[in-house]
Structure 1
Amino acid sequence: MWAGYVPDAQIRPDTERLDLPGDLDLVIHAMGLHWADDPVGQIVQCARALKPDGLFIAVCPGGDTLRELREVLMQAEIAVTGGLSPRVLPMGEIRDLGGLLSRAGLALPVADHVTIPASYRDLFHLAADLRAMGETNALADRLRVPTRREVFARAAADYAVTHPDPDDSSRIIATFDLVFLTGWAPDAGQQKPLRPGSAKMPLAAALNARKT
């Protein structure tokens, strides 16, 4: 959790109750929102810490993050054990995450995302990187006994076949889908959306004008 001015930013622990001072110009919630039990509550706390017209920015993994890993682990576990356990944290979709901004009382909400493919030697290289990030499986319903080696061996083999790196077929690709959220603390001087139906030009005409 980052808050305050840059470069004199303050780093705050990413706890459920955020230790934020008030009257801030900027709050950045970086790569922790997907672990929050109450993400709306986290954004509300950030919004309340902002001065009027202060900016809130968050970045967190989106729904397509690690989709390849989720797929091969699921298929391997079913094939080897006949069962299935949760292994990859569910990530929010951009539309749902964007809706949290308005629910938290922020104005002018914007949600965007960027998809970043990352190359790894194999599934075990990817797993080691996730462990170093602190992004291992912490789900309450996760398997409580050691996973059979055959599951990981099969998943690694399937991963290499189904999701090779297009630039180097001896490696695998992993998708990281990063969602960026921005919203402003309400202020009387901010621009306001126009009344529905008050536009002077149809959207189709505006798009055609841009093309030409």
Structure 2
Amino acid sequence: MASKAPPRIFSPSRRIAARQRMLALQAQPDAPRYLIDDMVEDVLERLAFLRFEPASALIVGDYSGELARALSARGVTVTEAEPAQGFAEEQPYPFEGFDLIASLGTLDTVNDVPGALVHLRKALAPGGLVIASFTSSGSLPVLREVMLAADGDRPSPRLHPAIDVRAGAQLLQRTLYADPVADHRPLDVAFRSLERLAGDLRALGLSNVLADPGPPLGKTALMRAREAFAAAGKDGRTVERFEILTLSGWKR
């Protein structure tokens, strides 16, 4: 019996376009990098805690290049891959045998997350480790409320559905990782305006890539959104939260 195709929640073409725009924006000297910096630091801390010293590593999605530089300085042979440049996470990988695979900020917008995790595991060498981090359920709570206020009685799909920590743990078990661990952590960032938040989301590759993105906000709805965002803040700043989910597991 043929396997059931995963639901088409995200548009692959919109996803690639959003990441290509992200790479262009990240070339600017003042680009926001707080999410990727947090993920890179977390990977290095986990490796230190585990006392795991890989000989080879695949890094997916780290547009900062910092993790590759840190691992290379330790003598690790590093391969880098980027979805915006044609790397397909929902297809079998063209390479394998890695001691470590770090996937940073990409699995939140693939349609087939279980399939992507299977391909990650198959690309590991026996005894290899996967660490995958991405934004998860609970992210952007203020923006979600703002968009509901802006749309009024007829809300449109504007923000992505997301995986929570419990579902993440179940996905690791389902895809046959050994010693699976799923945990999450918050990262709070203050913004002076809704436009500043929207600009950061574009530069972080977190803009809307839904297959059905909904209509753009009209002038009246945009005004309501600005007012709701300002009202949610204090002293001219509104704090928004990003929840980062990290999944890790081994190939035995």
Indicate the TM-score class for this superposition, using the shorter chain for normalisation: 0.7 to 0.9
Partners of 1:12 and 1:19 within 8 A in 2: no
Could you say which residue in structure 2 is the equivalent of 1:68?
Answer: 142
TM-superposed CA distance for 1:159, in Å, is 1.6
Confirm or deny that 1:151 pairs with 2:221. yes
User: What SS class does the counterpart of residue 21 from structure 1 fall into?
Assistant: coil
Once residues 151 and 157 of structure 2 are traced to their aligned partners in structure 1, the CA distance between those partners, rounded to angstroms, is 10
Partners of 1:13 and 1:19 within 8 A in 2: no
Could you say which residue in structure 2 is the equivalent of 1:43?
Answer: 117
Once residues 143 and 50 of structure 1 are traced to their aligned partners in structure 2, the CA distance between those partners, rounded to angstroms, is 39
Could you say which residue in structure 2 is the equivalent of 1:204?
Answer: none
Could you say which residue in structure 1 is the equivalent of 2:245?
Answer: 179
Aligned CA distance change for structure 1 residues 20 and 57 (closer, same or farther; 3 Å): farther
Instruction: Specify which structure has the higher proportion of strand.
Output: 1
Once residues 109 and 17 of structure 1 are traced to their aligned partners in structure 2, the CA distance between those partners, rounded to angstroms, is 22
Confirm or deny that 1:101 pairs with 2:172. yes
Once residues 137 and 9 of structure 1 are traced to their aligned partners in structure 2, the CA distance between those partners, rounded to angstroms, is 31
Instruction: Specify which structure has the higher proportion of helix.
Output: 2
Partners of 2:93 and 2:119 within 8 A in 1: no
Could you say which residue in structure 2 is the equivalent of 1:23?
Answer: 97
TM-superposed CA distance for 1:19, in Å, is 3.2
Once residues 20 and 119 of structure 1 are traced to their aligned partners in structure 2, the CA distance between those partners, rounded to angstroms, is 41
2:180 partner letter: P
Partners of 1:58 and 1:180 within 8 A in 2: yes
Q: How does 1:169-208 map to 2 (within 5 A)?
A: 169-186=235-252
TM-superposed CA distance for 1:20, in Å, is 4.4
Could you say which residue in structure 1 is the equivalent of 2:59?
Answer: 2
TM-score by length of 1: 0.78
Regions of 4+ moved over 6 Å? none
TM-superposed CA distance for 1:183, in Å, is 0.3
Could you say which residue in structure 2 is the equivalent of 1:122?
Answer: 193
**CA shift digits 1:65-94 (9 cap, x unpaired):** 11110111112211xxx3110111111111
Q: Which runs of 5+ in 1 are unaligned?
A: 187-212
TM-superposed CA distance for 1:44, in Å, is 0.4
Q: Which of 106, 109, 112 pairs up with 2:183?
A: 112
Could you say which residue in structure 2 is the equivalent of 1:32?
Answer: 106
Partners of 2:93 and 2:123 within 8 A in 1: no
TM-score by length of 2: 0.66
- Cα RMSD, aligned residues only: 1.7
**CA shift digits 1:95-127 (9 cap, x unpaired):** 001211111111000011110110111111000
Once residues 108 and 152 of structure 1 are traced to their aligned partners in structure 2, the CA distance between those partners, rounded to angstroms, is 47
Once residues 110 and 184 of structure 2 are traced to their aligned partners in structure 1, the CA distance between those partners, rounded to angstroms, is 20
TM-superposed CA distance for 1:13, in Å, is 3.0
Partners of 1:122 and 1:160 within 8 A in 2: yes
Once residues 2 and 148 of structure 1 are traced to their aligned partners in structure 2, the CA distance between those partners, rounded to angstroms, is 40
1:2 partner letter: I
Partners of 2:185 and 2:243 within 8 A in 1: yes
Q: Which of 111, 133, 137 pairs up with 2:208?
A: 137
Q: Which runs of 5+ in 2 are unaligned?
A: 1-57, 61-67
